[in-house]
Chain A
Amino acid sequence: DSGVTQTPKHLITATGQRVTLRCSPRSGDLSVYWYQQSLDQGLQFLIQYYNGEERAKGNILERFSAQQFPDLHSELNLSSLELGDSALYFCASSPGGFSSYNEQFFGPGTRLTVL
């Protein structure tokens, strides 16, 4: 158990809908990272927050947004969902940001299926 929790574990929804994925980092970790894992694209970095502020952006679509709250948990919002958004979404946390050499600790993931 990495100490990172993600809810829900599974999510099935329809095209055009909006969903929210939630992540609680390990105790004491200030950085939260979101990744998308799909069969054809591999593991893609989406976005990073550090202590409530956005710090780095990867291949995140404009339809997707995220935030980190004062208690350090984070939410990833996916809207106007398309079939191609079906994937595993991982949250990871670390004490520092990308500029440190800390390893990241990954949650169990949320499997999103868009029908």
Chain B
Amino acid sequence: AQSVAQPEDQVNVAEGNPLTVKCTYSVSGNPYLFWYVQYPNRGLQFLLKYITGDNLVKGSYGFEAEFNKSQTSFHLKKPSALVSDSALYFCAVRDGPNSGNTPLVFGKGTRLSVIA
């Protein structure tokens, strides 16, 4: 069965500093990995995804994520945090090709707080 873990409920970072939000996953085959962000009273917004190819994926708002197969991780990063990046971040995973219609599994979310 597929699963995803976000080990930190909360991440605090000073504005201008680099940020990392951690995600590890478990699937039986090759993963499709996604990051979403949720601002207060809003739906989830897609940030980026890893399907295949380059392990470093660039997404919206200056975010990027690195796929590490050996460590089964897909950490979200940004070189310089903004106060406006404060939100709830979700990692999601599903088995990749040839896995049929298996649903996307979301982590429990990590609340990012960027302090001015």
Residues of A within 8 A of B (CB): 2, 4, 42-43, 45, 48, 55-56, 58, 90, 92, 97-99, 101, 103-109
- Within residues 37 to 51 of chain B, which ones have a CB less than 8 A from any CB in chain A? 41-46, 49, 51
Task: Count how many chain B residues have C-beta atoms less than 8 Å from C-beta atoms of the other chain.
Answer: 25
Among residues of A, the one whose C-beta sits closest to the C-beta of B103 is A45
Picked from A4, A56, A108, A109, the residue with its CB within 8 Å of the CB of B101 is A56
From A2, A42, A58, A101, residue with most partner B Cβ within 10 Å: A101
Give the CA-CA distance A108 to B40 in the complex, in Å.
Answer: 10
Which of A42, A92, A103 sits near B49, CB closer than 8 Å? Answer: A103
Residues on B with beta carbons closer than 8 Å to the beta carbon of A109: 42-43
User: Do residues A42 and B43 form an inter-chain contact, with CB atoms below 8 A?
Assistant: no
Given the interface contacts A42-B109, A43-B109, does A101 sit within 8 Å of B43 by beta carbon? no
Q: What residue of chain A has the Cβ atom nearest to residue B100's Cβ?
A: A99
Distance of A42 Cα from B79 Cα, bound (Å)? 28
CB of A9, distance to nearest CB on chain B (Å): 9
Which of B44, B90, B96, B99 has its CB near the most chain A CB atoms (within 10 A)?
B44
Does B104 reach chain A (CB closer than 8 Å)?
yes
Query: Which secondary structure characterizes the binding site on chain B?
Result: loop
**Complex CA–CA separation, A4 to B32 (angstroms):** 23
Provide the bound-state CA to CA distance between A101 and B45, in Å: 16
Would A108 and B34 count as touching, CB distance under 8 A? no
Measured CB to CB, the residues of B under 8 A from A are 32, 34, 36, 41-46, 49, 51, 90, 94, 96, 99-109
Please state if A98 and B42 are interface contacts (CB–CB under 8 Å).
no
- What B residues does A58 contact at CB under 8 A? 103
Nearest A residue to B106, CB-CB:
A43
Measured between beta carbons, the chain B residues less than 8 angstroms from A2 are 43, 45
Contacts of A92 in B (CB 8 A): 43-44
Contact of A106 among B43, B49, B102, B107 (CB under 8 A): B43
